[in-house]
Chains A and B, each alone.
Chain A
Amino acid sequence: MIPSFAVVGHPNKGKSSIVATLAEDDRIHIGPTPGTTRRAHHYTLSVAGEPQYVLVDTPGFQRAREVLDWLQSRAKSASERPGLVAEFVRTHEGDVRFRDECELLDPIVAGAGILYVVDGAKPYGPEYEIEMQILQWTGQPRMALINLIGSGDHVDDWRHALAQYFSIVRVFDAVNADFDNRLSLLRGFGELNEDWRGAVDKAVAALKTERRRRRERSARDIASCLIDSLEMVQRVALDDRQDVEELQSRLMAQFQDRIRRRERRSRDAVQSLYRHQSLTREEAATELLHSDLFTGEGWELFGLSRTQLAISGALTGAVAGGGIDALLGGASLLLGAGIGALLGSAGAWLGGEEIAKVKVLGEPLGGRVLQVGPVRSANFPWVILGRAWVHHHLVAERNHARRESIASSITAERHLMDALPDELRRALSRLLKRAAAGGISAADRLSLAQRIGEMLENNPGNTAVVDSDVD
């Protein structure tokens, strides 16, 4: 049987927050109103489809005193206590009066370990001991978690009281716990029962590997976003009746919108990787100036400019003419090649316009084009990268119990990179220059993703980043 852990306690002490944090599920309802969890919810951690353990989010105790009275009125010896708790659940199944108690005791009776949650920011009260006694009566391995909701500090009082009923007492800030805290808590689950340790250790190892993969996948996605943004070009076919300036402004707006959408897609992907499905963000869009962008008008056929086409025509004509010269055994004194080159270049120059209008399978072969992009500002890739880094950091470190939207802004784009080791910064700089120069090889693309992955392991730092949660 796979280990199971029931998160139990008083209502509104952060049970669902703890489950949301551990299960990385930001859809779990968390609210100040007590009684939002009305029945037990099971969250199974699977590694490659193989369940490792189950977390059970339960409703809080509502009538603990009555439950204890019921148990005490029937108990004759300590050995009967676990059986009596099971009998209580069986007897009151379907009884609306004890619905919450049955929901929370049922998984424990079925063999779940107990994670009893209290709020260390609020004073200890002796009435809690009733709940602790009931849990003690179940005979199941149990751990107390002192959650911290608010600014008060009554942890010591709680610790002393809880230590009398629980073999392990830990402080766990469900809303602010980082990944290492979460893993540490999971390892603690394994300490509750020797038989559970294997599954818990396997889950911890898998979560660490998954964490690394998420970072790598994020890095790959950020690299793609960066390269796409740097290579982005907005082009439109021009005809003589159009106002070029008006078209250029429209193209510029479309270009900026594409950059924004590309960044948004990347942000969504990163959030999705870290299972932040409901997280909203408030982020100013990257603003580009006209001076940041290449804008120009041109003409092309088969991907060649008019001059390139003329040269190609001349070369082609020369080769054809050269063949005639060869046939004549050189008697033509290379006139064939010369005339061929002239005819080829003139034909390409003069006839290119007409050829460009020809449509094959609906695609014109060429014509006049107006182009906006790529971005040529040297700072641009750093801005994109810096924003992505900050966003990744906020998302990766963010707890699933938090419900506010995130807002991020960068106060100093290049300065942000000072937080990186010199070697990494130089490598990124080299790769970004190549990407910005208009092309990046597959190998460089891979290197860029790896380097970004290394970057994501670092903290962007408090000096450069303004991270605020927006209600």
Chain B
Amino acid sequence: MSDSQLALLVDVKNALSEDADTPYSERLERDRAFGRGLAENLSAADQLLAWWRTTADPVSPTAGERVVRLRRMVSAVLCLIGALLGMSLSTIVFGYDGAYPVNLFALLGVVVGIPFVLLILTLLLLPGWIPGLGVVRDAVSGISPSRWVGVWLDRYSRLNLFSTYSDQRRRSSFARWQLIVFSQWLAVGFFLGVLLVAWLLVVVTDLAFGWSTTLQADSAVVHGALNTLASPWSAWLPVAVPDLELVAASRFYRLEADGLSSARAVQLGEWWPFVLMVIVVYGLLPRVALLIAGYWRLRLATRSLLVADPDTAALLDRLALPVVGYVGDASAEESVDSSSVASPPSVEAGVTTQALVWNDAVGTAAATDWLSANHGAQLAQLIQLSVLQDLAERTAALQAIDKEVRRIVIFTKGWEPPLLEFSDFLELIRENVAADVSLMVVPLDVSGVKVQAAERDIWARALTNVDDARLYVVEA
């Protein structure tokens, strides 16, 4: 039904508006997971409905239900206004004081003819049927109470469907058909009001109908025209088809001042089935048909609005399209110890120093130059050690270090990360030298000169796992 789709549209739009702040990927994962659980042949509206019911946790009455209720109320009020108009007009046009019969031409012209012309105009003005009639259509829509109601309904539903009606390019099919449906409710109410009063007047008063014209009209011609008019029901309701005798007898002239005889009044009253049928067939039924057609088109337009709306289209996209992406099991970042080893003590001249080069961090000449510049004389022989050597070889080299050495400088590749096997190496050194010997790690950069303070800090932090009070990391 159009009602449920409109309610859904309003509610889904509201829900999507509230959902707008949820990160897209989160929405994508959530909606695709939900979409996978939906039946394959489910319509777009049903998919949206299922999504909305699950995601939005709706509380009745929802905004959409309120808008639908309001629309029903508007339709009912328009129908009622139409009925009151019809009853008022009917009271006037069926007015009969006994002096002259009710003029059939005037009656049917006002009650059926003008509304029928308006109906034809409505149909002609339906978009796309006749080009160039936009101006007329806009003028008509400008005075349409339905449009006023639509604008007000817009403000309530916040859908902005009728407010842009005057702009042809932004006019939605929904608004167009909604206006037609509203108008038909007014018209249906009108004809029901007309029929009600006509029926009451027929039942409780004596009505007499006649026709009159200034023209030289032959009764046979009038009879032929009226029979053509009555052709839709002539086969199954002959009582509502005037015969030639009745047509001929019904012509009246206002100069006939003597009023109607009882017999003639009875005869002229025989018109009422025809009159009512004309109102029903040419007034009420086309409006009812247009109302039904309008509802059908409105339903399509609502559905189209539901599916074509950028937000709902994006949601349907998320429900349907396969998600391509990674799902990881990474948890929160793991903490890294930010503590650091102590700064090195000031260099005392004359202290015997042993230099070790780990993993070919620097050439012998460069290491010697660095040591002479920073530690003066008393330099013991430089030892090259590497992880490629086996443990026994490394241990033997360390055991050979002079016992007079009070400081060991270890050159290492500053561009490489400090590994645990380097920590193991430092522990191996400590096992082979006295506890009061300072171990000074010198991370060098690729050019063999110095590392950045940031890299030095990385080494300093990493080496905190070596529990050694006399271990220092030195900037070259």
Say which residue of B24, B163, B455 sits within 8 Å of A269 (CB atoms): B24
Task: Decide: A361 near B325, CB < 8 A? Known: A127-B388, A302-B151, A327-B106.
Answer: no
Nearest-neighbour CB distance to chain B for A166, whole angstroms, equals 20
Task: Decide: A123 near B151, CB < 8 A? Known: A29-B334, A48-B322, A441-B170.
Answer: no
Q: Is B128 an interface residue (CB 8 A)?
A: no
Residue of A nearest to B465 (CB): A35
Q: Is B348 an interface residue (CB 8 A)?
A: no
Which of B283-291, B363-371, B397-405, B414-422 interfaces with chain A? Answer: B414-422
Q: Is the CB of B333 within 8 A of A29?
A: yes
Chain A neighbourhood of B424, CB < 8 A: 63, 66
Q: Is the CB of A44 within 8 A of B417?
A: no
Q: Which of A125-146 contact B (CB under 8 A)?
A: 125-127, 130
Say which residue of A57, A217, A224, A302 sits within 8 Å of B152 (CB atoms): A302
Chain A neighbourhood of B152, CB < 8 A: 302, 360, 363, 365
Q: Is B114 an interface residue (CB 8 A)?
A: yes
Q: Is the CB of B169 within 8 A of A25?
A: no
Residue of A nearest to B151 (CB): A303
In the bound complex, CA of A122 to CA of B420 (Å): 20
Q: Is A315 an interface residue (CB 8 A)?
A: yes
Q: Is A451 an interface residue (CB 8 A)?
A: no
Which of A78-86, A207-215, A245-253, A421-429 interfaces with chain B? Answer: A207-215
Nearest-neighbour CB distance to chain A for B179, whole angstroms, equals 13
Chain A neighbourhood of B420, CB < 8 A: 62-63, 100
In the bound complex, CA of A65 to CA of B359 (Å): 13
Q: Is the CB of A25 within 8 A of B328?
A: yes
Q: Is the CB of A10 within 8 A of B417?
A: yes
In the bound complex, CA of A243 to CA of B156 (Å): 28
Residue of B nearest to A437 (CB): B169
Say which residue of A24, A47, A272, A311 sits within 8 Å of B23 (CB atoms): A272
In the bound complex, CA of A329 to CA of B92 (Å): 13
Nearest-neighbour CB distance to chain B for A96, whole angstroms, equals 10
Q: Which of A180-209 contact B (CB under 8 A)?
A: 206-207, 209
Q: Which of A247-282 contact B (CB under 8 A)?
A: 265, 268-269, 272-273, 275, 277
Q: Is the CB of A24 within 8 A of B328?
A: no
Q: Is A465 an interface residue (CB 8 A)?
A: no
Residue of A nearest to B109 (CB): A326
Task: Decide: A125 near B360, CB < 8 A? Known: A29-B333, A206-B322.
Answer: yes
Q: Which of A19-69 contact B (CB under 8 A)?
A: 22-25, 27-29, 31-38, 41-49, 55, 57, 60-66, 69
Q: Is B134 an interface residue (CB 8 A)?
A: no
Say which residue of A22, A42, A65, A277 sits within 8 Å of B421 (CB atoms): A65
Q: Is the CB of A10 within 8 A of B326?
A: no
In the bound complex, CA of A434 to CA of B170 (Å): 11
In the bound complex, CA of A63 to CA of B423 (Å): 10
Residue of B nearest to A54 (CB): B326
Encoded as 1 (CB less than 8 Å from any A CB) or 0, chain B from 298 to 337 comes to 0000000000101001100100011111111110011010
Taking Cβ atoms with an 8 Å cutoff, the residues of A that contact B are: 10-12, 22-25, 27-29, 31-38, 41-49, 55, 57, 60-66, 69, 100, 122-123, 125-127, 130, 152, 206-207, 209-210, 213, 217, 220-221, 223-224, 265, 268-269, 272-273, 275, 277, 302-304, 308, 311-312, 315-316, 319, 323, 326-327, 329, 360-361, 363, 365, 434, 438-442, 444-445
7 pairs, CB–CB < 8 Å, chain A vs chain B: A23-B326, A123-B446, A213-B321, A221-B314, A323-B114, A439-B167, A442-B308
